[in-house]
């Protein structure tokens, strides 16, 4: 803090210089200050040096100076300002999901399942799905022989269906170009910010993601008392209409998203709601999907 001593001389006249060489000891000079109206210097009462001691107007009366000090308003207390000490970033890494099962049964349509297996975006996944479908056919034939029936089951349970559905397919678009369309995807939401994550390759039960997402939480750290929130992860699967039984749609309306045309959309496979406290969690948290 800077402090200033009043050693300045304002509004002196020629008479002051003639009668006294020291304005500090001259009462005539002090008396001439209030009467000097031609001086362009502003009044001392309107000046402020922002010091702890208020600047007083020039006066010849010590009592007036004391009165000015007594009536000065006390300084208002400063309100604390909350500022973020450091920027905050929440990093979420998705590597792979495993042992995923569907919450519904699907139609046992081998034609659709074989078409999906042959149009995956990875040759190894295509070979794996074809083998699983062949094993499924053999298992169904063995079961039909034991039951003396030639028919296959109409539905595949969820834990079997997830093993014969790819996470991605490679199909031609309207221009004839091959494009990769993910059947399996996730939405990751934190603090009202949502990011959609698409699968890279694999099957519905064992998928590879290899994605990194970042959320800016600087504002949340600065203004929240607890900085507690939930990391919401939802997994969805795009199923061909021929694979979804009508009864499953009607009985599980809450598991399907709705399109703009009020038609059934994607199937919600699962959800994870992970509580986080940004002021406490400083080490990585590993969650197996």
Q: 139 is written with which tokens?
A: 């298992």
Q: How confident is the model at residue 221 (pLDDT cuts 50, 70, 90)?
A: low
Q: Is the dihedral of CA 273, 279, 280, 283 positive or negative?
A: positive
Between CA 101 and CA 189 the distance in angstroms is 22
Res 276: pLDDT: 78
More confident of the two residues 65 and 184: 184
User: Do residues 208 and 199 make contact, with C-beta atoms less than 8 angstroms apart?
Assistant: yes
Q: How confident is the model at residue 116 (pLDDT cuts 50, 70, 90)?
A: very high
Between CA 138 and CA 144 the distance in angstroms is 10
Q: Is 99 helix (H, G, I), strand (E, B) or coil?
A: coil
Res 19: pLDDT: 47
pLDDT at 104 over 80: yes
Provide the CA 112 distance to its chain's centre, in angstroms: 39
Segment 278-286 shows an average pLDDT of: 65
Q: How confident is the model at residue 229 (pLDDT cuts 50, 70, 90)?
A: confident
Q: 69 is written with which tokens?
A: 């000090």
Distances 20 to 16, 24, 51, 145 between C-alpha atoms, Å: 6, 9, 32, 131
Provide the CA 262 distance to its chain's centre, in angstroms: 30
Residues above pLDDT 90, as percent of the chain:
39
Can you say whether residue 99 is alpha, beta or left, with left for phi > 0 and alpha for psi between -120 and 50 degrees? left
Q: pLDDT, tens digit, for every residue of 120-172? A: 999 999 999 999 999 999 998 887 766 655 556 889 999 999 999 999 999 88
Res 105: pLDDT: 96
Burial class of residue 121, CB neighbours in 10 A (0-12, 13-18, 19+): buried
Between CA 267 and CA 251 the distance in angstroms is 13
Res 183: pLDDT: 95
Lowest mean pLDDT among 76-80, 136-140, 229-233: 76-80
More confident of the two residues 58 and 177: 177
Distances 129 to 161, 198, 208, 236 between C-alpha atoms, Å: 11, 20, 15, 20
For the chain, helix (H) and strand (E) counts, in that order, are 8, 12
Please name the helix (run of DSSP H) or strand (run of DSSP E) that holds residue 123, with its range, or none.
Answer: helix 123-146
Q: 207 is written with which tokens?
A: 């998928």
User: Do residues 58 and 44 make contact, with C-beta atoms less than 8 angstroms apart?
Assistant: yes
User: Do residues 154 and 246 make contact, with C-beta atoms less than 8 angstroms apart?
Assistant: no
Q: Is 228 helix (H, G, I), strand (E, B) or coil?
A: strand
Nearest to 113 by CA among 187, 29, 204: 204
pLDDT at 249 over 50: yes
Nearest to 94 by CA among 221, 239, 202: 202
Query: How many beta carbons lie within 10 A of that of residue 160, not counting itself?
Result: 19
Q: pLDDT, tens digit, for every residue of 159-216? A: 999 999 999 999 888 888 889 999 999 999 988 889 999 999 999 999 999 999 998 8
Q: pLDDT, tens digit, for every residue of 44-56? A: 445 444 444 444 4
Q: pLDDT, tens digit, for every residue of 3-43? A: 444 444 445 444 444 444 444 444 444 444 445 445 455 55
> Hunting for tokens 């099957």 — which residue is that?
203
Task: Indicate whether this model's pTM tops 0.85.
Answer: no
Q: 154 is written with which tokens?
A: 């109409």
pLDDT at 110 over 60: yes
């Amino acid at each position: 803090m800077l402090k200033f001593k009043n050693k300045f001389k304002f509004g002196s006249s020629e008479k002051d210089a003639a009668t006294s060489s020291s304005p500090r000891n001259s009462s005539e000079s002090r008396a001439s200050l209030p009467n000097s109206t031609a001086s362009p210097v502003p009044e001392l009462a309107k000046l402020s040096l922002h010091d702890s001691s208020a600047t007083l107007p020039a006066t010849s009366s010590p009592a007036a100076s004391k009165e000015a000090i007594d009536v000065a308003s006390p300084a208002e207390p400063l309100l604390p300002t909350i500022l973020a000490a450091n920027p905050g970033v929440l990093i979420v890494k998705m590597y792979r999901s495993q042992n995923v099962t569907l919450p519904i049964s699907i139609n046992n349509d081998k034609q659709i399942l074989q078409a999906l297996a042959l149009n995956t975006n990875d040759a190894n996944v295509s070979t794996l799905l074809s083998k699983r479908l062949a094993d499924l056919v053999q298992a169904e034939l063995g079961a039909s022989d034991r039951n003396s029936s030639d028919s296959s089951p109409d539905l595949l349970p969820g834990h079997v269906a997830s093993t014969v559905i790819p996470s991605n397919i490679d199909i031609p678009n309207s221009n004839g170009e091959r494009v990769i369309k993910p059947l399996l995807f996730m939405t990751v939401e934190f603090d009202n910010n949502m990011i959609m994550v698409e699968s890279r390759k694999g099957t519905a039960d064992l998928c590879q993601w290899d994605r990194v997402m970042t959320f800016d939480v600087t504002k949340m750290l600065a203004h929240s008392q607890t900085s507690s929130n939930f990391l919401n992860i939802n997994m969805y699967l795009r199923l061909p209409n021929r694979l979804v039984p009508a009864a499953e749609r009607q009985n599980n309306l809450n598991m399907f998203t709705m399109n703009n045309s009020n038609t059934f959309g994607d199937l919600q496979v699962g959800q994870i709601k992970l509580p986080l406290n940004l002021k406490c969690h400083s080490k990585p948290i590993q969650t197996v999907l």
